[in-house]
Chain A
Amino acid sequence: MNPLESLTDAVVRGDRREAVRLTSEQIDGGSPPKEILAALVAGMDTVGDRFQRNEAFVPEMLIAARAMTESMAVLEPLLAAQGIRPEHTAVIGTVQGDLHDIGKNLVAMMWRGAHFNVVDLGTNVAAEDFVNAAKDHGADIIGLSALLTTTMPAMRQTVQSIREAGLHAKVIVGGAPITAEFADSIGADAFAPDAATGVDIARKLVSA
């Protein structure tokens, strides 16, 4: 394994000390920050794939994301100095009436892991708050989460408000009771059954 592969591997294993050590080592050795970033992102992608296949679970996602975050803290100043910023912004939240946030948080984590700028509005978010945040931050992606059948109507309402506001952002929806058919029926752009698929789809939508 070359050092960048080792860095990817440290993120996958959630070994934050090793990840930070290798990140610093790469920086000191003069590796281009962009390549270091790519190695970190690759680690999150691998964990996401494993999660998708039910080979990694919430704890593994958490420790991988922690390793990435701590490494990014070291890397960020260099990225900033070179003007390397997240190219895309995503606004995410759980719709009004719903307080479930474990799934939404994982999606936010994975989007950050893919180097998106993520604005997390939390839970119980009103339609107009999604709209306003998407405007304020110039969102390319809006992610809506709903875990209750009783809050699926709020998801529909939110998509409608986003459409009425004429925003260009693509809307991705997810959550336990949500299906592709439901996503279609409320006019969302996409549905993702899990966080890793959420990354694949977000990448596709922003490059379309």
Chain B
Amino acid sequence: MTERDNLLRMLSGEKADHLPLDVWMTEPARDLMESHTGSRDEVEALGLAVERIGPAYTSSPESWIQAYRGLGFMLSPEATVGCLGTVHDCPPAETLGAAYHLREMRHPLEHVETVSQLSELPWPDWESPDAYAHLGEAVEGAHRRGLAAVGQMDCTAFEMAWYLRGMGRLFLDLVDRTGLGDWLLDWFTQRAVHAVGQFVRSGFDIVWLGDDVGTQRGMMMAVPFWREHLKPRLAQVVQAVRDAETSPVWVAYHSDGDVREIIDDLVEVGVDVLNPVQPECMPVVQTVGDHRHHLAFWGMIGTQSTMPFGTPSDVKMAVTELADLARDGARVVLSPTHMIEPDVPWENLSTLVKASHMPLFNLR
């Protein structure tokens, strides 16, 4: 059975051989992995179940930089511009210390005042077939390697709009109904609608959506606010998957933090899988118990607790707890709840990897 077969069996509630595994690595974690396994490819070295593939938009950083200059937003020489206009700044090397991913996000659209300023920006053409031309082959490649193909459309709408506009401004736009927040959310929603259709037609097994709307203590915004502004847009994107699919494609949704208050709504719009279920703020056994009848769970191994601070036997215990749930019929994919940071001991990661590959029926 390939990792893909095993994962798809797990998601559809058939008998899986073992708990499928997904791990997101930082570069220092990759260094550590290489020193122990000789490989920098975690899919191979750790036996992961998925390969993640996204669209390839063409847009020139130069045209963004110019457009931003026109808006009075100056970039520092160290800044990088993404194809969707996001801007990151890297502080001077001497202040970096151990913090290798210290890339500060700037909000280039913070001072925009009119919708026409937004529509005149050099947005990439999400309808261009070039953006998706590689997908079919990439999916086939993943399948040949025995991996499930995941179509990446995380930061679906809210997070992209927030990154460009700034969270505070975006919230104020929506409260004050300036139209700017809606314009941004709609632009990103429409591009996601288009992209997920392309994903489905290219043979992806899973479409990965997500927008962080949770915090350690609950929702970032009130549930009615989420229902008004974000839920209908998410529903459109999921519907686009349903409209395009000829055989079932799994829809996963990522939000950090405690999002228990919107789980029923997520299921209602068609989400199949929830990630990452941070155990530090969403009690795992209870959340799985409450929602296993309509949802699969992907994550649950805490990167604020077990992975950095636990012992290998704590890791084993966390996996065993999930194996118990899976044997009992819950659909579970193992994954640390965020990236493996340099504070995670190799022994904890290797224990997770070993335990995940043990036959489900021996893992007690």
Interface residues of A (CB under 8 A from B): 14, 54, 56-60, 62-63, 66, 96-99, 102-103, 105, 123-124, 126, 148-151, 154, 176-177, 193-194
A156 vs B304: C-alpha distance when bound (angstroms): 17
Partner of A54 from the list B95, B105, B172, B218 (CB cut-off 8 Å) is B218
A63 with B175: in contact, given A97-B97, A99-B105, A176-B216 (CB under 8 Å)?
yes
A96 with B221: in contact, given A59-B174, A124-B104, A149-B303 (CB under 8 Å)?
no
5 contacts across the A-B interface (CB closer than 8 A): A56-B222, A57-B220, A60-B222, A99-B102, A177-B280
List the A side residues contacting B168 at CB < 8 Å: 62, 105
A167 vs B215: C-alpha distance when bound (angstroms): 33
List the A side residues contacting B102 at CB < 8 Å: 97, 99, 124
A148 vs B219: C-alpha distance when bound (angstroms): 19
Partner of A59 from the list B95, B171, B342 (CB cut-off 8 Å) is B171
Evaluate contact between A97 and B99: CB separation under 8 angstroms: yes
A176 with B222: in contact, given A66-B172, A97-B98, A150-B342 (CB under 8 Å)?
no
Q: Which residue of B lies closest to A109 (CB)?
A: B168
A67 to chain B, nearest CB (A): 12
B93 to chain A, nearest CB (A): 13
Evaluate contact between B175 and A59: CB separation under 8 angstroms: yes
B94 to chain A, nearest CB (A): 10
The size bracket of the interface on B is: 20 to 34
Evaluate contact between A151 and B99: CB separation under 8 angstroms: yes
A159 vs B215: C-alpha distance when bound (angstroms): 25
List the A side residues contacting B303 at CB < 8 Å: 149
Q: Which residue of A lies closest to B167 (CB)?
A: A102
List the A side residues contacting B99 at CB < 8 Å: 96-98, 124, 150-151
Chief secondary structure at chain A's binding surface: loop
List the B side residues contacting A96 at CB < 8 Å: 95, 97, 99
Partner of B221 from the list A58, A66, A103, A149 (CB cut-off 8 Å) is A58
B203 to chain A, nearest CB (A): 37
Evaluate contact between A57 and B104: CB separation under 8 angstroms: no
A123 to chain B, nearest CB (A): 7
A102 vs B217: C-alpha distance when bound (angstroms): 14
Q: Which residue of B lies closest to A63 (CB)?
A: B175
List the B side residues contacting A63 at CB < 8 Å: 172, 175
Evaluate contact between A123 and B97: CB separation under 8 angstroms: no
Q: Which residue of A lies closest to B304 (CB)?
A: A177
Query: Told that A54-B217, A57-B220, A193-B217 touch, could you supply 16 new A-B pairs with CB distance under 8 A?
Result: A56-B222, A57-B219, A57-B221, A57-B222, A58-B171, A59-B175, A62-B168, A62-B172, A63-B175, A97-B99, A99-B104, A149-B303, A149-B304, A176-B216, A176-B304, A194-B217
Report, nearest first, the 5 A-B pairs whose CB atoms are least far apart.
A97-B99, A176-B216, A59-B171, A177-B304, A54-B218
A62 to chain B, nearest CB (A): 6
A150 with B217: in contact, given A58-B167, A62-B172, A63-B172 (CB under 8 Å)?
no
Evaluate contact between B220 and A150: CB separation under 8 angstroms: no
B24: interface (CB < 8 Å): no
A60 vs B220: C-alpha distance when bound (angstroms): 10
Evaluate contact between A62 and B341: CB separation under 8 angstroms: no
A148 vs B339: C-alpha distance when bound (angstroms): 11
List the A side residues contacting B218 at CB < 8 Å: 54
List the B side residues contacting A103 at CB < 8 Å: 215
B343: interface (CB < 8 Å): yes
List the A side residues contacting B187 at CB < 8 Å: none
List the B side residues contacting A105 at CB < 8 Å: 168
A190 vs B271: C-alpha distance when bound (angstroms): 41
A149 with B343: in contact, given A54-B217, A59-B221, A194-B217 (CB under 8 Å)?
yes
List the A side residues contacting B104 at CB < 8 Å: 99, 123-124
A37 to chain B, nearest CB (A): 24
Evaluate contact between A59 and B225: CB separation under 8 angstroms: yes
B345: interface (CB < 8 Å): no
B308: interface (CB < 8 Å): yes
A149 vs B216: C-alpha distance when bound (angstroms): 13
A105 to chain B, nearest CB (A): 8
Q: Which residue of B lies closest to A126 (CB)?
A: B95
B121 to chain A, nearest CB (A): 25
B91: interface (CB < 8 Å): yes
B73: interface (CB < 8 Å): no
List the B side residues contacting A149 at CB < 8 Å: 303-304, 308-309, 341, 343
A63 vs B171: C-alpha distance when bound (angstroms): 9
A58 with B342: in contact, given A99-B102, A102-B167 (CB under 8 Å)?
no
A59 vs B174: C-alpha distance when bound (angstroms): 9
A50 to chain B, nearest CB (A): 10
A195 vs B155: C-alpha distance when bound (angstroms): 27
Q: Which residue of A lies closest to B225 (CB)?
A: A59
